[in-house]
């Protein structure tokens, strides 16, 4: 007995010692990471290295340490588009920077508007007589567009390039739901409100096909025009119209095919590419590995070039990602979180407000919460201007209605002015297994909505009336904002999406312009001089957890180009896109099962949205199934 007690005490002591060591190590790691933040002193003479191992977005998603620990994989990196543009513009005048290097080996893309913004910034670097060199193992549409603005484009000998173009197919669940006798209750207004079609049809309706064809055609034309201007030697016609013949002529050699079509300039591995950069910028004396070159990372360079804050502040509120109820975000537009930012102390003294939207919409109540908060700012008598990025549709347009001036780009997707709700019930499914429902009601709504016994006709009628009222509310807000009658708004609404050029012709957008153009207009309306204002991005404070995770996952501080793992040839890139499509399919199914309340969401905007950089939440059965399928 005494021996057993001593063994027990020994085991408890070992356990306590291990726990203490773990805690000490954990806190030491946090301390070390916090001390390792980039400083201006880390900027070295050489190249500005932009190692984009992730997606370019309007607003990076908040890092969740618990999700990172439990998911079995680290989150993909996301790069704020204006950070990249600010770094590139600073590189123009910084004498330490001799060249800009883009490493797109793990680049997962972004929206067309963002690609155009970064491409224009790269052009300004070249105009300052500083070369821009780009390397990747394989190039797809977004990477090709950035590379087109480079001085030299390199591809690995085992890599290649291809153009997919916007568009693709989606899944339709009507026959599946019919097979299992799931009753899908759809409430909607809008001939073109495509979101509900996957749950009610087996194919795309002609109105939806018409709208999507028009938008995809406009976006692809914009992509091709940008490519032709930036890289006139590229034979885009061959690459897009006869891709099989193009590859066959090169003997199946993707790298040679890319060079023959003028998509790339040089074929060489990352060591050869690094040696080429070193001739321009000098060798990396801190890292003797082959292919090293002197460089500064994005984080260090941004730390050395903090934005100036002259004069008064113009507030910028970012509405990015799906609009939801609650405090979600950043990266997701939680209605309560954004409203709190607009009502908070940082927004009290702003001279004007710019609403930056990059969202396909979502919850009607979340959208209305944001809109009312914007209206409260407008009631203070300050100018309110809207700036649209890649997409500002459905709820994304709802929140834009308080703006007195709306800026967009030709490649912006907007409109989708419509309302819907989808609810499923299982009374037919259960009846097949001999399960029925019965009872006593005091009113036609007693026990409703009954997901197992079915909906009463009265509830169906009330829900449809609620949706119709929501649509009237939406079109009324648009009409009041745009100075149009109900009939005029209804004619261009009906849930249809529009490209930025058509939206401008219809009056949904006032003029083309970037976020900077919107800021300048807001300053003019607030009677501020050109150099007497600065943007104040509300809520843009990185948490310590996010900083820690970013350091642990490497970020852009991982040495030179040769440190990158080669991320795959044509098959590997297609596989990655297949996984993203699988994740999106499960997301669509989960939206049908889990959406709460009326939705102003643009499903068809998914064909133009930035890539899915990580699967949505993994809660519930659908999340578990998705996790299995996308591994």
Tens of pLDDT along 164-177? Answer: 999 888 889 999 99
- Per-residue exposure over 479-505, b if at least 16 CB sit within 10 Å of its own CB, e if not: bebbebeeebbbebbbbbbbbbbbbbe
Position 630 scores a pLDDT of 35
Write the burial class of residue 170 (CB in 10 Å: 0-12 exposed, 13-18 middle, 19+ buried): middle
Q: Among 414-418, 450-454, 570-574, which stretch is predicted with the lowest mean pLDDT?
A: 570-574
Position 345 scores a pLDDT of 93
| Closest C-alpha among 287, 263, 265, 260 to residue 276 | 265
Tokens representing residue 238 in the block: 């061959």
pLDDT at 626 > cutoff 50: no
In whole angstroms, what is the distance from residue 469 CA to residue 5 CA?
73
Position 623 scores a pLDDT of 43
Sheet with 295-297: list strands edge to edge: 266-267, 152-161, 132-139, 97-103, 46-51, 295-297
Tens of pLDDT along 250-271? Answer: 999 999 999 999 999 999 999 9
Sheet with 183-189: list strands edge to edge: 183-189, 419-425, 599-601, 361-363, 323-324, 333-334
Position 93 scores a pLDDT of 95
Dump the DSSP string for 341-354.
Answer: HHHSGGGTT-SEEE
17-42 average pLDDT score: 60
Tens of pLDDT along 458-473? Answer: 988 998 998 899 999 9
Helical pair 2-35 and 544-552, crossing angle rounded to 10 deg: 90
What amino acid positions are annotated as catalytic residues? 193, 394
In whole angstroms, what is the distance from residue 49 CA to residue 42 CA?
13
614 falls in which pLDDT band (50, 70, 90)?
Answer: very low
In whole angstroms, what is the distance from residue 147 CA to residue 150 CA?
5
Position 621 scores a pLDDT of 39
What average pLDDT does the structure give for the chain?
85
423 falls in which pLDDT band (50, 70, 90)?
Answer: confident
474 falls in which pLDDT band (50, 70, 90)?
Answer: very high
Position 448 scores a pLDDT of 87
Reported pTM: 0.84
* Rg of the chain on CA atoms, in Å: 27
Position 40 scores a pLDDT of 56
């Amino acid at each position: 007995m005494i021996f057993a007690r001593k063994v027990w005490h020994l085991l408890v002591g070992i356990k306590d010692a291990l726990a203490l060591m773990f805690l000490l190590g954990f806190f030491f790691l946090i301390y070390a990471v916090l001390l390792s933040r980039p400083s201006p002193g880390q900027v070295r003479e050489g190249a500005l290295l932009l190692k984009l191992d992730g997606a370019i977005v309007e607003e990076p998603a908040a890092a969740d340490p618990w999700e990172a620990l439990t998911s079995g994989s680290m989150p993909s990196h996301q790069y704020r588009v204006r950070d990249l543009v600010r770094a590139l513009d600073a590189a123009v005048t910084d004498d330490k920077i001799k060249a800009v290097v883009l490493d797109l080996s793990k680049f997962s893309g972004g929206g067309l508007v963002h690609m155009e913004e970064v491409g224009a910034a790269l052009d300004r670097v070249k105009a300052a007589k500083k070369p821009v060199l780009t390397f990747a193992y394989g190039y797809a549409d977004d990477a090709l567009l950035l590379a087109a603005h480079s001085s030299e484009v390199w591809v690995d000998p085992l890599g290649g390039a291809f153009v997919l173009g916007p568009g693709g197919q989606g899944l339709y669940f009507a026959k599946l739901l019919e097979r299992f006798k799931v009753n899908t209750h759809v409430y909607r207004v809008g001939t073109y409100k495509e979101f509900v079609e996957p749950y009610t049809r087996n194919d795309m309706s002609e109105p939806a096909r018409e709208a999507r064809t028009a938008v995809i055609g406009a976006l692809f034309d914009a992509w091709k025009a940008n490519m032709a201007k930036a890289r006139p030697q590229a034979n885009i016609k061959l690459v897009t119209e006869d891709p099989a013949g193009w590859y066959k002529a090169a003997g199946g050699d993707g790298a040679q095919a890319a060079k023959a079509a003028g998509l790339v300039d040089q074929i060489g591995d990352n060591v050869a590419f690094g040696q080429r950069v070193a001739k321009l910028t000098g060798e990396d004396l801190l890292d003797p590995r082959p292919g090293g070159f002197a460089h500064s990372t994005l984080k260090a360079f941004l730390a050395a070039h903090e934005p100036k804050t002259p004069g008064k502040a113009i507030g910028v509120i970012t509405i990015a990602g799906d609009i939801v109820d609650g405090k979600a975000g950043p990266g997701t537009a939680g209605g309560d979180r954004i409203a709190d930012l607009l009502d908070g102390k940082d927004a009290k003294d702003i001279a004007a407000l710019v609403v930056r939207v990059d969202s396909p919409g979502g919850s009607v109540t979340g959208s209305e919460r944001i809109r009312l908060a914007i209206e409260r700012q407008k009631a203070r008598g300050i100018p309110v201007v809207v700036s649209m990025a890649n997409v500002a549709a459905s709820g994304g347009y709802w929140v834009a209605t308080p703006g007195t001036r709306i800026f967009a780009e030709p490649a912006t997707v907007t409109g989708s002015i419509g309302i819907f709700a989808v609810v499923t019930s299982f009374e037919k499914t259960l009846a097949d297994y001999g399960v029925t429902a019965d009872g006593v009601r005091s009113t036609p709504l007693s026990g409703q909505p009954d997901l197992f016994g079915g909906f009463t006709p009265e509830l169906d009628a009330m829900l449809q009336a609620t949706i119709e009222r929501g649509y009237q509310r939406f079109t009324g807000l648009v009409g009041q904002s745009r100075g149009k009658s109900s009939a005029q708004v209804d004619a261009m609404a009906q849930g249809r999406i529009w490209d930025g050029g058509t939206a401008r012709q219809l009056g949904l957008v006032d003029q083309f312009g970037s976020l900077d153009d919107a800021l300048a207009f807001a300053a003019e309306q607030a009677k501020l001089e050109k150099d007497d204002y600065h943007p104040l991005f509300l809520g843009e404070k990185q948490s310590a957890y996010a900083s820690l995770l970013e350091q642990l996952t490497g970020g852009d501080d991982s040495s030179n180009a040769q440190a990158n793992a080669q991320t795959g040839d044509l098959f590997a890139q297609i596989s990655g896109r297949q996984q993203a499509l699988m994740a999106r399919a499960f997301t669509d199914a989960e939206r049908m099962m889990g959406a709460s309340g009326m939705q102003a969401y643009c499903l068809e905007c998914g064909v133009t949205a930035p890539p899915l950089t990580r699967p949505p939440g993994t809660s519930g059965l659908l999340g578990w199934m998705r996790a299995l399928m996308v591994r």
